Structure 1
Amino acid sequence: MIGENDAAIARALQEELSRIAAAEGSGHVPKTNGEIPSEDEQTSDHQRLLQRLKLYNLVEKEVQGDGNCQFRSLSYQIYDAPEHHKSVREQVIGQLKSQPQMYSSYVPMAYDDYLEKMSRSGEWGDHVTLQAAADLYGVNIFMITSFKDTCCIEILPQVLKSNKKVIYLSFWAEVHYNPVRLMR
């Protein structure tokens, strides 16, 4: 879990996000998962991600890649343990169910089918579930990505809770999330 250095990391990432947002002219839009890149692309993407993490003095805490990695990563950052991923998934799905007007327009299928699919253990989380997590827990989520054109993505909750917690994740090649912490 990232502790006292959250502010320094947040400032550095916020500067990068501000630069990117100015260049792109748009904010984060939740989306469902796209195509899985080839193994060669995944390897080069992961190298790019590792270079970015090193730049910010961050390292990944690797979690199991069993389709639950997003929820394991969130669990690690919220509870300091990836083992609560089932509970995190259930809570996020509860948020999606309780606020369909906030999320359904981002889902390219029948919303009930999406909820059923996302409820299954091993189903990959997407940016819609991350937005729901940010809203549910009232936290900012910073993702350091392996995308060529986007170093970082910031997901803001609709309502920021008073704890002002920031969750840091890595996201590489559209296939895996890990929690991120300061390098020691």
Structure 2
Amino acid sequence: MTTLASTISEGFRARRSIRALTNETKISDARIEELVSDVTLHTPSPFNVQSGRLVVLLKEEHQRLWDIAYEAASASVPQGVFEKMYKPRIAAFRAGYGTVLFYEDPVPFKALEEKWPMLTQKFPEWSQHSSGMHQFALWTLLEAEGLGCSLQHYNPLIDSPVSEQWGIPQEWRLQAQLVFGKPAGPPMEKTFEPLEQRVFIHGK
């Protein structure tokens, strides 16, 4: 019997990194917006502070993002490294349909810092935990809809020009970029370390 838990678990197992993408999509832009909105509304955050900010770039806007990444990397990365690694990877990301930028807004934490000063040092860490959940949830949902995705981290290399291009507040902290599109190749190979070295259960 199929249960909700088994369906969700199947989504987790199917989620993989796919970097070979085309600029097509199997779902509508409206459906993409719906999934992003659901994840934004229902992903946990510390003290329900709701600090996650998701910026969705589609089509030409998505391409502009990776043009910016190309320009930033070519100007700051050693030429040999750029030609061998950054240039082909950025071209592959640009070939996709869209990118979701995951930000964390530190402003909502100000009230918490006043109320819970003894926890102030932990808030940045917990903020990243929440962003990670946003990333994993949306990645899984987009894969379940037939899209290929890969999670990238071109921050802080692109932070300033991206903020300027799309009017993003400077205080928002860019955490990751989820690239997606129609798969044009198989997922990356995935191997697993032994579970007995990673999962420990007491009392069963």
| Range into which the TM-score falls when normalised by the shorter chain | 0.3 to 0.5
Greater length-normalized contact order (CA 8 Å, ≥ 6 residues apart): 2
TM-score, normalised via structure 2 length:
0.30
Which structure: larger Rg? 2
TM-score, normalised via structure 1 length:
0.32
